[in-house]
Structure 1
Amino acid sequence: MYARDNVAGASDLQQRLPSDGEVATATDMLRMLADGTRLRLMWLLSDGEHDVTALVRALGVARPAVSQHLGKLRLAGLVAVRRDGRRALYTARGGHVRRLVAEVMYAASHRVTGAPDHD
Structure 2
Amino acid sequence: MNADKKVCGLDPSSEFVHLAAEVFGILSDPTRIRIVLALRASPELSVNAIAEAVGKSPSGVSQHLARLRMARMVTTRQDGTRVLYRLADEHAAALVAEAVKQAEHAVAGGAAPPHHHAPQE
* C-alpha separation in 1, matches of 2:65 and 2:30: 13
Greater fraction of residues in helix: 1
Instruction: Give the CA RMSD over aligned residues.
Output: 2.1
- TM-score (normalised: structure 1): 0.75
In structure 2, runs of 5+ residues without a counterpart are: 1-9, 117-121
Q: Name the larger-Rg structure.
A: 1
Structure-2 change in CA distance of 1:94 and 1:32 (3 Å): same
Question: Of residues 84, 87, 93 in structure 2, which corresponds to 1:89?
Answer: 84
2:74–2:88: 8 Å Cα contact kept in structure 1?
yes
Question: Of residues 9, 18, 30 in structure 2, which corresponds to 1:24?
Answer: 18
Aligned residues: 103
1:29–1:78: 8 Å Cα contact kept in structure 2?
no
SS at the partner of 2:37? helix
Question: Of residues 35, 38, 45 in structure 2, which corresponds to 1:50?
Answer: 45
| Deviation string, structure 1 residues 62-89 (Cα, Å, up to 9, x no partner) | 2111000000011112112111122111
Structure-2 change in CA distance of 1:68 and 1:107 (3 Å): same
| Deviation string, structure 1 residues 5-42 (Cα, Å, up to 9, x no partner) | xxxxxxxxxx933523x112211111011111111111
Percent of pairs with identical residues = 39
In structure 1, runs of 5+ residues without a counterpart are: 1-14
